[in-house]
Copies of this chain bind each other. A is one copy, B any other.
Amino acid sequence: MADQREKVIIIGGGFAGLACAQGLANNPRYSVTLVDRTNHHLFQPLLYQVATASLAAPDIARSIRQILAKADNVRVLMEEITEIDPQARRVVSATGHDYPYDYLVLAAGARTGYFGHHEWEPHTMGLKTLVEAQNIRRRVLANLENAEIDDNDSDVDRLMTVAIVGGGPTGVELAGAFADLAQRSLKSNYRHIDTSRLRIVLIEAGDRLLAAYDPSQSEYARKRLEKIGVEVHTGAPVSSVEEGKVTFGPARTTLEAASIIWAAGVAASPLTACLGVPLDRGGRVTPEPDLSVPGQPRIFVAGDVVRMSKENGEPVPNVAPAAMQMGSHIARNLRKGDRKPFRYFDKGMMAIIGKNHAVVRVGWLKINGYFAWLTWLFVHIAFLVGFRNKLAVVIGWAWAYLVNNPEARIIVNPPGMVNPPGMAGANAGGEARANRQAAPDENATP
User: Are A407 and B388 within 8 A (Cβ)?
Assistant: yes
CA distance A183 to B113 in the complex (A): 43
* A27 located at the interface, meaning its Cβ lies under 8 Å from any Cβ of chain B in the complex: no
Give the interface segment out of A70-78, A114-122, A216-224, A234-242: A70-78
User: Are B130 and A412 within 8 A (Cβ)?
Assistant: yes
Given A417-B416, A417-B417, answer yes or no on A39-B442 (Cβ-Cβ < 8 Å): no
User: Are B44 and A141 within 8 A (Cβ)?
Assistant: no
CB-defined contacts of A389 to chain B, threshold 8 Å? 396, 399, 407
* A277 located at the interface, meaning its Cβ lies under 8 Å from any Cβ of chain B in the complex: no
* A37 located at the interface, meaning its Cβ lies under 8 Å from any Cβ of chain B in the complex: yes
CB-defined contacts of A347 to chain B, threshold 8 Å? 446
User: Are A45 and B148 within 8 A (Cβ)?
Assistant: no
Our pick among B36, B173, B323, B412 for the contact of A439 (Cβ within 8 Å) is: B36
Given A59-B56, A443-B304, answer yes or no on A66-B148 (Cβ-Cβ < 8 Å): no
Give the interface segment out of A287-295, A314-322, A332-340: A314-322
CB-defined contacts of A351 to chain B, threshold 8 Å? 445
Our pick among B17, B58, B135, B190 for the contact of A440 (Cβ within 8 Å) is: B17
User: Are B173 and A77 within 8 A (Cβ)?
Assistant: no
User: Are B37 and A128 within 8 A (Cβ)?
Assistant: no
Our pick among B58, B412, B432 for the contact of A408 (Cβ within 8 Å) is: B58
Give the interface segment out of A103-111, A225-233, A363-371: A103-111
User: Are A412 and B134 within 8 A (Cβ)?
Assistant: yes
* A176 located at the interface, meaning its Cβ lies under 8 Å from any Cβ of chain B in the complex: no
CA distance A77 to B192 in the complex (A): 10
Interface residues of A in 4-21 (CB under 8 A from B): 11-17
* A211 located at the interface, meaning its Cβ lies under 8 Å from any Cβ of chain B in the complex: no
User: Are A58 and B407 within 8 A (Cβ)?
Assistant: yes
CA distance A412 to B414 in the complex (A): 11
CA distance A51 to B429 in the complex (A): 31
CB distance from A190 to the nearest CB of B (A): 7
CA distance A400 to B395 in the complex (A): 16
* A392 located at the interface, meaning its Cβ lies under 8 Å from any Cβ of chain B in the complex: yes
Please, how many residues of chain A have a CB less than 8 angstroms from a CB on the other chain? Answer: 118
In this complex, the member of A16, A141, A411, A438 whose beta carbon has the largest number of chain B beta carbons within 10 angstroms is A438
* A274 located at the interface, meaning its Cβ lies under 8 Å from any Cβ of chain B in the complex: no
Given A189-B65, A392-B407, answer yes or no on A413-B38 (Cβ-Cβ < 8 Å): yes
User: Are A439 and B383 within 8 A (Cβ)?
Assistant: no
CB-defined contacts of A296 to chain B, threshold 8 Å? none
**Chain B residue with the shortest CB-CB distance to A380:** B446
User: Are B95 and A38 within 8 A (Cβ)?
Assistant: no
User: Are B148 and A438 within 8 A (Cβ)?
Assistant: no
Given A40-B439, A63-B409, A442-B318, answer yes or no on A149-B79 (Cβ-Cβ < 8 Å): yes
Given A63-B410, A391-B395, answer yes or no on A38-B437 (Cβ-Cβ < 8 Å): yes
CB distance from A211 to the nearest CB of B (A): 13
**Chain B residue with the shortest CB-CB distance to A433:** B95
* A42 located at the interface, meaning its Cβ lies under 8 Å from any Cβ of chain B in the complex: yes
CB distance from A322 to the nearest CB of B (A): 8
CB distance from A16 to the nearest CB of B (A): 6
* A427 located at the interface, meaning its Cβ lies under 8 Å from any Cβ of chain B in the complex: no
CA distance A39 to B40 in the complex (A): 28
User: Are A405 and B66 within 8 A (Cβ)?
Assistant: yes
Our pick among B15, B383, B410 for the contact of A441 (Cβ within 8 Å) is: B15
A sample of 10 more A-B contacts (CB under 8 A), given A348-B446, A416-B416, is A12-B439, A39-B410, A44-B442, A58-B408, A75-B191, A78-B146, A388-B403, A388-B405, A391-B395, A415-B417
Some 25 contacts from A to B, beta carbons below 8 A apart, are: A12-B440, A36-B440, A38-B436, A38-B438, A39-B141, A41-B439, A56-B59, A58-B407, A62-B409, A63-B189, A66-B409, A78-B142, A78-B146, A95-B429, A109-B442, A129-B439, A131-B415, A318-B442, A319-B445, A320-B446, A321-B444, A349-B445, A350-B445, A414-B417, A415-B420
